[in-house]
Amino acid sequence: MKKILAFAFVLTMAVGLIACGKKEEAPVETPAPVETPKPEAPAETPVPEEEPAEEEESAGNMWVRQTNGDQVQSYLTGEWVDKSVGDTRPIAYVFNNAQAACPQTGISRSGVIYEAPVEGYMTRLMGVMEEWQDLKKIGSVRSCRDYFVQFALEFDAIYCHYGQAVYALDLLSKDYVNNVSGLASSGAGYPGDIVYYRTSDRKAPHNCYASGEGIMKGIDKLGYSMDYDKEYTGRLGFVSEGETADMSGGQSGKVIKPGYPVNKPTFEYNESDGLYYRSQYGGKQIDDMTGKQLAVKNVILQYCYADTRDAKGYWWVDSHTGGPMRYFSDGKVIEGTWERGEDDTDSGHYYDQNGNELLLNQGKTWICIISATDAGEVHWE
């Protein structure tokens, strides 16, 4: 079993690694623990000048979501959306990322995309979506890993998957997890054969999809609420409209290689529109629904404790302890940390090196989960 380095030395790695254009050197183990910096007292985000906007109450979260008439800021992107969209819980959909399953369909609707390793160092994707109900085809879908459920909980999302690894069964059985599974073996969260369907253009397991209508039927049958929990205040924080994230002191970050060895993904910054364009498996990663390459405003590398659990290579990822992170936007990269509470229903937050909550540029975000021992494979320039 591959053992992961101590958290103290992971933090050392985060603040002391080499500058742009070089690989990160593998850190040296240090036995002494180092605490993650605690955030300073939060400050209100300025209200847009155009017209008064109401602010929701915040439980210690620096970013306060604003409303303006029939619009509200999205918890996923920080952009203005209709209240009917922004006040409705998102889904967190598990996308197959094997080469045989590409291109995916509907993934570009995601406001946030998580990428994390699974068995054999393949990666799996989870798209957090708030506008999905009209989609005819979403997928292909794959099975659950418990750490993806943890990430979904941070967004108060309804988790959509097709079966699961045995290690996920306990978490899926919790009453605070709302999941929609395609297999009865999942126990809780199986609405029957009404959500997912198979196509004939690909071989199983790469040909299983869902429609927005089917997912909604499953949610209705399982009795899940589509309203956010009244205590929910958001996972991410965003700058105000018309402002940009503070990247002062940042290094050049125009090309990002997270270091996953199978799909070998790359994000390349386009100065003309300020977005990072995604490639993998030696070519552009596109959404089959649109024919366009996936692109996001923000890329985050979140470093976590991680380990393989057994001879089959099932992963365990610590989504609670906290650790270093890197934030890429506008062609630059800055360092920070991430923290999350002990409860599964807690949402984590990102902080800059001064301990202030990190406010992202408004737009879509791609979060790559990096295990500490693989930090040396990460490269940017």
Digit-coded pLDDT (tens) for 66-77 = 999 999 999 999
Structural domain contains residue 355: no
CA distances from 318 to 3, 133, 322 (A): 13, 32, 8
- Give the amino acid at 337: T
Q: What confidence category does residue 195 fall into, taking pLDDT thresholds of 50, 70 and 90?
A: very high
Q: Which stretch of DSSP H or E encloses residue 238?
A: strand 237-238
CB atoms within 10 A of CB 21: 11
The tens digit of pLDDT for each residue in 333-365 reads: 999 999 999 999 999 999 999 999 999 999 999
Please, which residues have CB within 8 angstroms of residue 280's CB and are 6 or more apart in sequence? Answer: 97, 102, 263, 264, 265, 266
CB 115 within 8 A of CB 123: yes
Distance CA 60, CA 69 (A): 25
| pLDDT of 87 strictly over 50 | yes
340: Cα separation from own chain's centroid: 14
Q: What is the pLDDT of residue 312?
A: 86
Domain that holds residue 197: 82-222
For 89, residues 6+ apart whose C-beta sits below 8 A from its C-beta are 156, 157, 158, 225, 226, 227, 228
The kind and range of the H/E element at 333 are strand 332-339
139 domain residue, yes or no: yes
What's the structural domain count of the chain? Answer: 1
Given a cut of 70, whether residue 56 has pLDDT beyond it is no
Nearest to 367 by CA among 270, 293, 298, 277: 298
Listing DSSP states for 153-186 in one string gives: HTTTPEEEES-B-GGGHHHHTSTT--EEESSGGG
Q: Where are the beta strands (DSSP E) in 239-311?
A: 251-252, 255-257, 266-270, 275-280, 283-284, 295-296, 298-304, 306-308
CATH (domain of 164): 3.50.90.10
**Cβ atoms within 10 A of the Cβ of 119, count?**
15
Burial class from Cβ neighbours inside 10 Å (0-12, 13-18, 19+) for residue 323 reads buried
Q: Does residue 18 have a pLDDT over 50?
A: no
User: Considering the domain boundaries, does residue 111 fall inside one?
Assistant: yes
Report the pLDDT value the prediction gives residue 297, as an integer from 0 to 100: 99
d(CA 121, CA 129): 25
Residues 6+ apart with CB under 8 A from 321: 7, 304, 305, 340
> Considering the domain boundaries, does residue 175 fall inside one?
yes
242 inside domain: no
Answer yes or no: is pLDDT of 22 > 60: no
pLDDT tens digits, one per residue of 118-138: 999 999 999 999 999 999 999
Residue written as tokens 């819980």? Answer: 89
Does 246 reside within a domain? no
Band (186; pLDDT cuts 50, 70, 90): low
pLDDT digits (tens, 9 = 90+) for 287-327: 999 999 999 999 999 999 998 888 888 988 999 999 999 99
Sign of the alpha-carbon dihedral angle for 380, 251, 45, 348: positive
Query: Is 176 contained in some domain?
Result: yes
